[in-house]
């Protein structure tokens, strides 16, 4: 039985009830973890309201603003956690963004601005987050980091466009982090989730059709649930996965292994 009693960690990427990060936070809370949650500040404060409510439900002790493209927010977030916790055990990076208009164009029409935006938020952001997290994890003698990826990193998924290279970069970053932080007992892995209906995926054209096909063609002949992705994430974050680092673990009902 995995337990997070006495463990502290940060979950980034809750937007609403459907967010993978929400499922992960719920699972970690159930297993006894003490959580800090972040929200991406928006002018109407929608995310903040939802996350404050979730924090109460999940017993999360800290709620912090964090736009991952803003270095000063990043610095402030980790300074607050360092002061409050003086050490940390895990981090979940469940953040991605691409301009919806870009995703509606042909892949060859991807703009430099759209590329920089998607890469910066969805991939690069894990580097400074891992660096800051590692400072706190060292105080606890190690830690575990998990990022969320998708099979579009290795297959040309229709309409996934710039997010494909962003996920390939995220997986390469995870391997680089695993190599560099491994000697300090800090592990870094990715969960490659099957298609799930969320706010982010609603920005991908014909996503519902893609999800239907993925369910039909998976080895398990169904789509996965957020709970299944959350359980695998908790496993990778836990001591039960102490020998696993630098991996992308598919939680997609076996879709990735099927020839057709």
Ligand X SMILES: NC(=O)c1ccc[n+]([C@@H]2O[C@H](COP(=O)([O-])OP(=O)(O)OC[C@H]3O[C@@H](n4cnc5c(N)ncnc54)[C@H](O)[C@@H]3O)[C@@H](O)[C@H]2O)c1
Where along the sequence are the contacts to ligand X (CB under 6 A)?
13-15, 19-21, 40, 47, 66-69, 94-97, 121, 148-150, 193, 195-196, 198-201
- As measured in angstroms, the least distance from the Cβ of 185 to ligand X is 25
62: buried, middle or exposed (CB in 10 Å: 19+, 13-18, 0-12)?
A: middle
Of residues 7, 8, 167, 250, which has the active-site annotation? 167
Of residues 7, 8, 39, 160, which has the active-site annotation? 160
Compare residues 7 and 93 and give the one whose CB is closer to ligand X.
Answer: 93
Compare residues 24 and 186 and give the one whose CB is closer to ligand X.
Answer: 24
Tokens 């997070």 locate to: 4
- As measured in angstroms, the least distance from the Cβ of 193 to ligand X is 4
Compare residues 49 and 139 and give the one whose CB is closer to ligand X.
Answer: 49
- Give catalytic status of residue 160 as yes or no: yes
- As measured in angstroms, the least distance from the Cβ of 56 to ligand X is 18
Compare residues 3 and 202 and give the one whose CB is closer to ligand X.
Answer: 202
Q: How would you label 29-54 residue by residue, b for 16+ Cβ within 10 Å and e otherwise?
A: bebebbbbbbbbeeeeeebbebbeeb
**165, 117 in Cβ contact below 8 A?**
no
Compare residues 178 and 191 and give the one whose CB is closer to ligand X.
Answer: 191
- As measured in angstroms, the least distance from the Cβ of 170 to ligand X is 8
Compare residues 111 and 242 and give the one whose CB is closer to ligand X.
Answer: 111
- As measured in angstroms, the least distance from the Cβ of 29 to ligand X is 17
Q: What is the DSSP string of the chain?
A: ----TT-EEEEE---STT-HHHHHHHHHHHTT-EEEEEE---TT-HHHHHHHHHHHHHT-SEEEE--TT-HHHHHHHHHHHHHHHS---EEEE------HHHHHS-GGG--HHHHHHHHIIIIITHHHHHHHHHHHHHTTT-EEEEEEE-GGGTS--TTTTTHHHHHHHHHHHHHHHHHHHGGGTEEEEEEEEPP---TTGGGSTTHHHHHHHHHHHSTTSS---HHHHHHHHHHHHSGGGTT--S-EEEESTTGGG---
- As measured in angstroms, the least distance from the Cβ of 250 to ligand X is 10
Supply the residues annotated as catalytic. 160, 167
């Amino acid at each position: 039985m995995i337990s997070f009693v006495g463990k502290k960690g940060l979950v980034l990427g809750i937007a609403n009830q459907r967010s993978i990060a929400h499922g992960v936070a719920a699972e970690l809370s159930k297993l006894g973890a003490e959580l800090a949650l972040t929200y991406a500040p928006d002018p109407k404060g929608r995310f903040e309201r939802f996350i404050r409510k979730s924090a109460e439900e999940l017993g999360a002790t800290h709620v912090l603003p964090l736009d991952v493209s803003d270095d000063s927010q990043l610095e402030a977030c980790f300074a607050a956690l360092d002061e409050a916790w003086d050490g940390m055990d895990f981090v979940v990076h469940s953040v991605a963004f691409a301009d919806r208009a870009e995703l509606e164009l042909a892949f060859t029409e991807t703009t430099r601005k759209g590329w920089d935006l998607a890469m910066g938020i969805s991939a690069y952001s894990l580097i400074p987050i891992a660096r800051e997290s590692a400072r706190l994890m060292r105080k606890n003698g190690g830690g575990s980091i998990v990022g969320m990826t998708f099979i579009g990193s290795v297959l040309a998924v229709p309409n996934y466009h710039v997010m494909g290279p962003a996920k390939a970069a995220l997986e390469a970053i995870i391997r680089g982090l695993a190599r560099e932080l491994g000697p300090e007992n800090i592990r870094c892995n990715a969960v490659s989730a099957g298609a799930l209906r969320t706010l982010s995926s609603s920005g991908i054209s014909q996503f519902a059709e893609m999800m239907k096909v993925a369910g039909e063609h998976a080895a398990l002949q169904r789509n996965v649930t957020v709970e299944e992705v959350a359980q695998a994430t908790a496993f990778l974050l836990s001591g039960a996965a102490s020998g696993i680092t630098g991996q992308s673990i598919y939680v997609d009902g076996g879709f990735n292994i099927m020839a057709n």
